[in-house]
Amino acid sequence: MHVISASRRTDIPAFHSEWFMNRIRSRLVTVASPFGRRLYKVSLEPKEVIAIVFWTKNAAPILQCLEELTGRGHCFTFLYTINNYPGFLEPGVPELSHTLKVVDIMTKRFGSSIIRWRYDTIVFCKGLDRRWHARNFQELCRHLASHTSECIFSFCDYYKKTVKNMNRLVENYYIPDQAECKEIAQELAEIASETGISLASCGHDFLVTGSIRKARCIDTEFLAKVVDSVDRLDAIEKLKPAPTRKECACAESRDIGAYDTCVHGCAYCYANTNLELARKNFSLISSDSDCLDPHRSGLEAS
């Protein structure tokens, strides 16, 4: 049995929910390796899937599908990124009021254990300084405390494509050093604790302290709380660590997404080369395709 990650590479709930449900109904998906030309098939048979972990900034389009997903025998959870950033950083992400309505619907229908909140990634630029983040984070904690007990956070990792896009789109951004990151993280931890939310650092072990634990986005302890059978619990115990980058603590999963297919247009995004390419790819994707990569769909997979 395996965990389905949907997806670190794109926002499937926001932009590909119809495609995803068609794959669920067919009980099989083809995935294109992002680091080569290999295609491989991943089973979506309920008896072979421990749980589905959705990564999203907008779960509204998939809301209407969740009852069907449950009815087909699947368990699921959401890593929900809620930053409340201005439009120049996240031009395609819904406003906070919309997001809070969606979160409220989800937790009322499925319980608060379904959602883990991500404040990710933390970016500093003109108008978004340390004081702004403290106020923004405090507001988000106040709104989300009744819906989740944990916040996973990280500071922006400046990959080559990230730097290129930030240079083009964001005025006067800057990268804090480790000492400043530690100070800011402790401030956020204090704010979070006031509302009963714990803080977990993703991919940055230097921030882990008594008040900040190490994040595990694909987390066996958390998954054990949302699955519905002894078989799935036993399968969770057999999952091995499978870090996706340095200092990642995630358990193994099968990611079914594709890079350059998310059209939120976030300036800091690591998953898109640029928004123009993502839009072009998005326009080529058929909801009936077996693979989310528009250039690999229909090809035979091993």
Residues 63, 252, 255, 213, Cα dihedral to 10°: 60
What is the tens place of the pLDDT at every residue in 41-84?
999 999 999 999 999 999 999 999 999 999 999 999 999 999 99
- Domain coverage including residue 160: 2-284
Q: What is the pLDDT of residue 298?
A: 54
Residue 24 clears pLDDT 80, i.e. is over it: yes
In a domain, 214, yes or no: yes
Q: What is the total count of domains within the chain?
A: 1
Q: What is the pLDDT of residue 289?
A: 96
What is the tens place of the pLDDT at every residue in 125-173?
999 999 999 999 999 999 999 999 999 999 999 999 999 999 999 989 9
The DSSP 8-state label assigned to residue 223 in this structure reads: H
Residue 156: give its domain's CATH number: 3.80.30.10
Q: What is the pLDDT of residue 295?
A: 86
Residues near 292 by beta carbon (within 8 Å), at least 6 away in sequence: 10, 12, 16, 19, 31, 32, 256, 257, 258, 261, 285
What is the tens place of the pLDDT at every residue in 164-183?
999 999 989 999 999 999 99
Largest Cα span, the chain: 53
In a domain, 83, yes or no: yes
The DSSP 8-state label assigned to residue 153 in this structure reads: E
The stretch 284-291 carries a mean pLDDT of 96
Q: Name the 3-class secondary structure at 116.
A: strand
Which residue bears the tokens 């499925």?
110
In a domain, 289, yes or no: no
What is the tens place of the pLDDT at every residue in 239-254?
999 999 999 999 999 9
Residues near 276 by beta carbon (within 8 Å), at least 6 away in sequence: none
Residue 302 clears pLDDT 90, i.e. is over it: no
Q: H helices of 73-215, where?
A: 96-110, 130-144, 160-169, 178-193
In a domain, 209, yes or no: yes
Confidence of residue 36 (pLDDT cuts 50, 70, 90): confident
In a domain, 244, yes or no: yes
Give percent of the chain with pLDDT exceeding 90: 94
